[in-house]
Amino acid sequence: MKIFLARFLSTTAFTGLFPIAPGTVGSLVTIVILWFLPALSTAWLLGISVVLFFTGIWSAGVTEKAMGVEDPGSVNLDEDLGMVISIIALPKTLIWWGVAFLIFRFLDILKPWPAKQSQAVGGGLGIMIDDVIVAIYTNLLLQAVRFIF
Q: In this predicted model, what pLDDT tens digit does every residue of 28-87 receive, in sequence order? A: 999 999 999 987 899 999 999 999 999 999 999 999 999 999 899 999 999 999 999 999
Distance of CA 50 to the CA centre of its chain: 12
What whole-number distance in Å separates Cα of residue 10 and Cα of residue 22?
12
The predicted structure's pLDDT at residue 54: 98
9 burial via Cβ count (<10 Å: 0-12, 13-18, 19+): buried
What whole-number distance in Å separates Cα of residue 63 and Cα of residue 27?
19
- Please tell me whether residue 40 adopts helix, strand or coil conformation: coil
Instruction: Categorise residue 48: left if φ over 0, alpha if ψ from -120 to 50, beta otherwise.
Output: alpha
Q: Cα-flanking dihedrals φ and ψ of residue 89, to 5°?
A: 65, 20
Q: How many domains does the chain have?
A: 1
The residue ranking higher by pLDDT, 121 or 59, is: 59
- For residue 30, give its domain range: 2-148
In this predicted structure, the answer to whether residue 119 has a pLDDT above a threshold of 90 is no
The predicted structure's pLDDT at residue 39: 79
Once rounded to an integer, what is the mean pLDDT over residues 104-118?
A: 93
Chain mean pLDDT for the chain: 94
The predicted structure's pLDDT at residue 36: 93
In this predicted structure, the answer to whether residue 116 has a pLDDT above a threshold of 90 is no
What whole-number distance in Å separates Cα of residue 101 and Cα of residue 95?
10
pTM assigned to the model: 0.94
User: What is the pLDDT confidence band of residue 149, given thresholds at 50, 70 and 90?
Assistant: confident
What whole-number distance in Å separates Cα of residue 24 and Cα of residue 119?
19
What whole-number distance in Å separates Cα of residue 132 and Cα of residue 136?
6
Looking at the chain, the whole-number percentage of residues with pLDDT higher than 90 is: 86
What whole-number distance in Å separates Cα of residue 135 and Cα of residue 82?
5
